Each structure stands twice: as structure tokens, then as C-alpha cells.
Structure 1
Amino acid sequence: MATAATPLNVPEGRKARGRLQLLLILLVVLGPMVLATCMYKLGFWVPDGRSYHGVMIGNGQSRADIGIDGHDERWQLLVSAPQGCAEDCQQLVYLARQIQIGLGRDASRASHALAAAQPLAPGYQAQLGREYPQLQRYPLDSGRYNQQVSEPGAQLWIVDPHGNLVLRYDAKVKGKQVLDDLRHLLKLSNIG
């Protein structure tokens, strides 16, 4: 025959200790989430430093948004030349190839490309064919490009395998800085 369960008589001291333990557990679990949300919304305790050297493109822009139609399944070092490929553009094309080579064992995870709004000079076109056989070339819609990009002149972009723009550099960038940024992205990324 089953007996009816009787309520436990727990002393008041143990109840208080149990409540305190429950509050501590909730504080440990929910506290970091509440703190992180407050830090994000209110902007306090956010570090001022950054670990990248270029201009971060954090608005979800893609190659197509700036007038470049092309696709690659790898990370890409993309040189854009809205006014033709002059000396600064040519230097960035060379730099993009050197950065890809500098990746070493990860070189197969990246490619280099040139998007030009105007036809290239015949001499430079021939040089690209000889010296840069893996360079991908895309047309550049200068109207869309000028609407989206306020910086004049040739630019070097890091593009992820989905075609999203990640970082942008001007023509004065040092190759070591771009190489460091791209290595860091490849280390953190499982794609491409």
C-alpha cells in the first residue's frame, strides 16, 4: 500500500543557502550575456585598438555592388582601377601577386585579380599575359564604382570566397600589412 508523500521540513537556514546558490548559478550563467549586451549596446569597455591595417568593409557589400562582375571560390586580392591601370595600379597588381606567393602553403586558398574600367595599354596587356598567367581580369562599371567608393585611384581589396568585400587598401599600402591581414583571415576562416 502506497503512503502519501509528506512535505519536507527544511530548516530556514538551508532554504536561504539554497536560494543563494541558485542566484549565484544564474549570475554566472546570465551575467556575461547581460554584460556583453550592455557593452555592445552602450559601447563601454570596447577596445579602441584594432588588429587590421586596411579599411574594414562591414556593411555586406559585394564585388557586384561596386561594379565588378566576377566569381572565385577562393579568397581574392582584387585591384580596382577606375581610371585605367596607371603606375599605382600596376604596382598594386604586382603587390597582389607577391602577397599570394608570400602565403606559402596557403597560396592555393587565394587568387589575384584586376578589374579595370578602361582597356589596358597593349604593352601592359602583353606583360600581364607573360608574367601574370593566373591573374583574373574583370570589367569594372565605373558608374557603380564611383557611387560606392569615395576614394580616388586604384585600390586593393580583400574579397572573401562568397564575394563579400572585407578590407580595402589604397595604393600606398605596404605589402607586409596586407599579407598579415590576409594570413589572419585565412587562419580564422574555414571557407575558401
Structure 2
Amino acid sequence: MTMHLSHAGRQRLKLLALIGVFIGPLIVAWSMVEWRVGIPDERVAHGQLMPALPNLQAWPMQASSLSLGPFDWVLAYDCAMDCPAIADRWWRLHRALGREAPRLTRLRFGGQTGALPGEIVAQWRARPAWSHEGSLWLIDPEGQVVLSYRPYHEAEEVLEDLRHLLKMNPQPALAIRE
């Protein structure tokens, strides 16, 4: 049994197909956002955005010498116990940056050991409520905290976020160090 559509029926079918072509992608996009299906993980930072944290210059710290360049990113971390192991972990991450390593300075709070290469050691004057043992912060060249990580976060995820941020924020050509 064959079905013959009238001219009006064919026109309605064409209109429904045209509406489907334009509405279909909207429905698919909405469902992807609503149920987080098909969204690439590499576009999501592993750390937590912390815009409420104060600027680095307002942190209650005592530093021997906090001389940062105008284009330096800072990896700040708090360690009181097992500090040599934690400092070594972030030193290795720093080395893994390769040619981008000079753009990063590590700022360590606590510990009794001396500073590793590329690291500044500071002490809290009074530990702020937002700082916990093992906390880690990624700070932009203007001193704003970009990302905060839970204590003892995976170094590979921090490295991935850091590489992405350095790639998205290239160093100006005039600022390249000799």
C-alpha cells in the first residue's frame, strides 16, 4: 500500500524537516550542557576558582625576599609537616615545564629546610582561615589567585592546568628574559 501525499502534505513535511534541521542542534546542545554529556575534560580546570581570596600582596606573610618579575606566575603552597617531600614534588613539577619554567616562581610557606632552586621561602605572620596544610594556589602575574587546589592534589593535574594557563597567556615579546 503506497501512500500519496497531497501537495499541502509534502509542504508540511518539508517545513517540519526544516524546523528539525534548526531546532535539532539546539536540543542536542542543551542536553549536553544539562547532563554534561560529550563535553571534553581538557577544557575544565582541575583546581577550584577562588576569586574571593586576597591579592598576593595582601597575604599575611614574612618573606625573606619576594621579588617577582612583572610577568611571573606564582605556585604558592603551604607545608608544615613533610615539607622536604612536598617541596621536592613541586620542584619536579616546575622542572617539567621545560622552557616555560622561568615564568614560574614557587612560594613555600613553612618548613625548616632551605629553599630549592626557583623557590622563595616565607612564613605566615598569622595563618589565614583559607590556608590549610598542603594547600596549593596558582597566582597570576598581577597577584590574583587563579586556582586553588585541595591539599595533596595530583601534580599531573596541576601541571596540565599550569601549561594551559601559560599557553593562553603568552609572555610579551619585550619581556622575554635573556
With structure 2 as the length reference, what TM-score do the two structures score? Answer: 0.59
- Partner residue, 2:159: 183
Residue 61 and residue 97 in structure 1: after superposition, are their counterparts in 2 closer, same or farther (change >3 A)?
A: farther
State the distance in 2 between where 1:101 and 1:156 align: 20
Residue 16 and residue 46 in structure 1: after superposition, are their counterparts in 2 closer, same or farther (change >3 A)?
A: closer
Cα deviation, residue 140, structure 1: 2.9
- Partner residue, 2:145: 164
Larger Rg: 1 or 2? 1
With structure 1 as the length reference, what TM-score do the two structures score? Answer: 0.56
- Partner residue, 1:140: 124
State percent identity of aligned pairs: 11
3-state secondary structure, aligned to 2:49: coil
Q: For structure 1, which runs of at least 5 residues remain unmatched after alignment? A: 1-10
3-state secondary structure, aligned to 2:169: coil
Residue 33 and residue 67 in structure 1: after superposition, are their counterparts in 2 closer, same or farther (change >3 A)?
A: same
Cα deviation, residue 31, structure 1: 1.2
Equivalent position amino acid for 1:79 in 2: Y
RMSD across aligned positions (CA): 3.9
Deviations 1:124-152 (A, max 9, x none): 4xx33xx53x3234453535x2x224x4x
| Structure with more helix by fraction | 1
Cα deviation, residue 37, structure 1: 4.4
- Partner residue, 2:99: 105
Residue 100 and residue 59 in structure 1: after superposition, are their counterparts in 2 closer, same or farther (change >3 A)?
A: closer
Residue 104 and residue 68 in structure 1: after superposition, are their counterparts in 2 closer, same or farther (change >3 A)?
A: farther
Residue 87 and residue 139 in structure 1: after superposition, are their counterparts in 2 closer, same or farther (change >3 A)?
A: closer
- Partner residue, 2:13: 17
State the distance in 2 between where 1:63 and 1:139 align: 17
- Aligned equivalent of 1:89, options 83, 90, 105: 83
Residue 182 and residue 56 in structure 1: after superposition, are their counterparts in 2 closer, same or farther (change >3 A)?
A: closer
3-state secondary structure, aligned to 1:148: coil
Instruction: State how 1:50-129 maps to structure 2 within 5 Å.
Output: 56-62=47-53, 64=55, 67=59, 73-81=71-79, 86-116=80-110, 124=113, 127-128=114-115
Cα deviation, residue 59, structure 1: 4.2
